Amino acid sequence: MSATPIAARHKGFNRAEIVDQNFTEFVQLWQGDVRAKPRDHESVLPGSALDARGFRELLESQLISRHLDLMARVLRVQNKVFYTIGSSGHEGNAMVARLTRHTDPAFLHYRSGGFMAERFRKLPGMDPVMDSALSFAASKEDPASGGRHKVWGSKPLWVLPQTSTIASHLPKALGTAVAIEQARRIGHTLPIPNDSIAICSFGDASSNHATAQTAFNAAAWTAYQKLPAPVLFVCEDNGIGISVKTPSGWVANNFQHRNDLDYFFADGLDLASGYEQVQRAVDHCRETRRPTFLHLKTTRIMGHAGTDFEIEWRSIEELVAVEASDPLLRSAAIALESGLYSKDELLTLNETLRKRCFAAAEDADRRPRLQSLDEVMTPLAPYTPGQVKAEAERTDYQDKRVAVFGGEEKLPEKQPPRHLAIQINQALHDLMAKYPESLLFGEDVAQKGGVYTVTKGLNKTFKGNRVFNTLLDETVILGLAQGYANMGMLPIPEIQYLAYFHNACDQIRGEAASLQFFSNGQYRNPLVMRVASLGYQRGFGGHFHNDNSIAALRDIPGLVVGCPSRGDDAATMLRTMMALAKVDGRVCAYLEPIALYMAKDLYEAGDGQWQFTYPATGEAMTLGEGRVYNDEANDLVIFTFGNGVPMALRSARTIEKELGWKVRVVDLRWLAPLNDAFIAKQAKNAKHILVLDEGRKSAGVGEGVITAIVEGGCGSTPLERVVGADTYTPLAGAAFLVLPGDVEVVAAAKKLADRK
């Protein structure tokens, strides 16, 4: 390579212009020897595994990526482009795209312009420039996200869109790799070839993130047990995370000697030497089906994003050195030395691609953008009620049910009334018979049957390929769930306690629930997450086992949250959630009140009034449908859910006795989305309203209920709220000091009665 170009030595604020000039000056000033021009199938340089045709196409992909970056910097100030995190310095990732297939699911780092430009070659008729320009311009014609975000994504190319990939995508990439192999074991037909691998790229700084580490650990844990997990982790090491430098040698030192995570290095700055190194890693992953770590050397040109003026915090000498390592300069040298391009031909190619990128961007700017709230939200939470109802009520699997339950006479609907835990267990047996593509997994769910034996017998009935234990890591559990969903399965992950969900919340908030939105409905993560939830446990508790924090779930856009209080409702709700996942690809959270698992009685010991008959197949609960007790009463209407339902019914008996009021109890059942119209209807003729929310005072379900009541025109009706305190739940009997109880409900009713 020749001396540093003149432009690179200039101290100026617009380093993008300087980087652009560097390429032109480098080509103009190049004075090396020129070899005989190789034919298409011959090595681009002696000793290189890359042939001439491959080099030409990779070079073009690199230049497309670079000019998209340069275009974004220029047009952002004109409000024609809305994203400036670029791929400059990372263009060598195009080699990973070339050496993998378009059917290998890819979960990409945001510096993946080169990868995308190269992968577009895999299918005829696709245009990496126009598609990318539409995404940069936030056009609703953007084929990746419909204008909702600048993402690298493509349905036909199996690139699942990521929005801000700071390691949160690694668990689901691993999950997808595991799912590819799991499909064979359960007889599920994959939407991709059986020998596919999952590709996951990220930066060196991101490799330190806890979510990344949990994915690496789980991958190694899987391989240690001789289970296939064909995931190619691609660490694009540019030596810096925004402004924090990665210690020299850290990535290699950290990953080179990890057991069961096979390490490969490749020079992403040099196509001629790096190509064979990348090929070894890809071939190893595909052939051995083992988790593979490809350490790809890159650099970062032009800063983290358009707003990152590196000259303000890095010396000019350091910037010049970084820019001198630009992989496009090395590619230019290869192009000239190999005789594939003359100086004029290379400069012409560069300018042709520049014009093509700017022309596409100007065209994209003229295309329509999202103009209404409906347009924005359409793919967020699809719901086709007729199809969901038909699926939930589908009964064409009776022979399978009979086999699962051990005979016609043993079907659950023919058994005596049972309590909540038993009926959830029966419903899970039922639904796993209905959906052969379903899998149930989590901590202790298999042989033990879960902490509360809710999954007892499922492992024996459906075997370890469909019901299995995971390692103790909620992030991995939910990452696996997304991977199975990506491969067309219906996962039922269990989170052992609601408090444990908070460890892994972003796998639902930032990943699973956002996928339909940011892919414009092209990709989906159908799953039903079961969570042992809420408070009131006796003899075993503390804040980790008596967690009543539901706000983190209700805040997630598009997530369906349901909470049954009795066994028959548990079964019909679960049927509907599975149908929502199957038909509309919805992500559902199924909250199981721990304290009601074994509850058999309602008013007094031995009355058996909290046991119910299992609902026959064909019965299902409509999304948003509540249950009303004593629906003619209107002196007092109590809105509640979960543990609050039997509490309200007990309290109603006391209130009727002491105040003479007729009390209606409304079990919401569905906590997100709240059925505002149903709530307003129930409140309309109420003389008094009481909202009983076992969650915390701040950000609880009750706030949403009260809002629905007020916005429904019932704001003048006397109202009280009985709610938990804003505190963690203590151990033993002190727990009941911070949670609402029967006494507080009755006291609130008397307070309403005392109002003038």
E strands within 460-500?
467-469, 490-495
**Most distant CA atoms of the chain, gap in Å:** 102
Phi, psi (degrees; rounded to nearest 5) at 414: -100, 5
**Is 545 one of the annotated active-site residues of the chain?**
yes
- Provide the token pair at 715: 């704001």
DSSP 115: H
Listed residue (289, 287, 280, 192) closest to 231, CA to CA: 289
3-state helix, strand, coil in the chain (%, to 5): 45, 15, 40
Spell out the residues 6+ positions from residue 467 whose beta carbon is closer than 8 angstroms to its own: 432, 439, 440, 441, 445, 446, 455, 458, 459, 461
User: Is 486 in contact with 199 (CB distance < 8 Å)?
Assistant: no
Q: What angle do CA 276, 154, 261 make, to 5 degrees?
A: 40
Residue 592: beta bridge partners?
532
Residue 701 CB: number of other CB atoms within 10 A? 29
How many Å apart are CA 376 and CA 373, to the nearest integer?
Answer: 5
Q: Of residues 169, 188, 419, 545, which has the active-site annotation?
A: 545
How many Å apart are CA 34 and CA 45, to the nearest integer?
Answer: 11
How many Å apart are CA 550 and CA 561, to the nearest integer?
Answer: 9
How many Å apart are CA 208 and CA 220, to the nearest integer?
Answer: 16
How many Å apart are CA 315 and CA 4, to the nearest integer?
Answer: 17
How many Å apart are CA 436 and CA 403, to the nearest integer?
Answer: 14
User: Is 701 in contact with 669 (CB distance < 8 Å)?
Assistant: no
Q: Which residues are catalytic?
A: 545
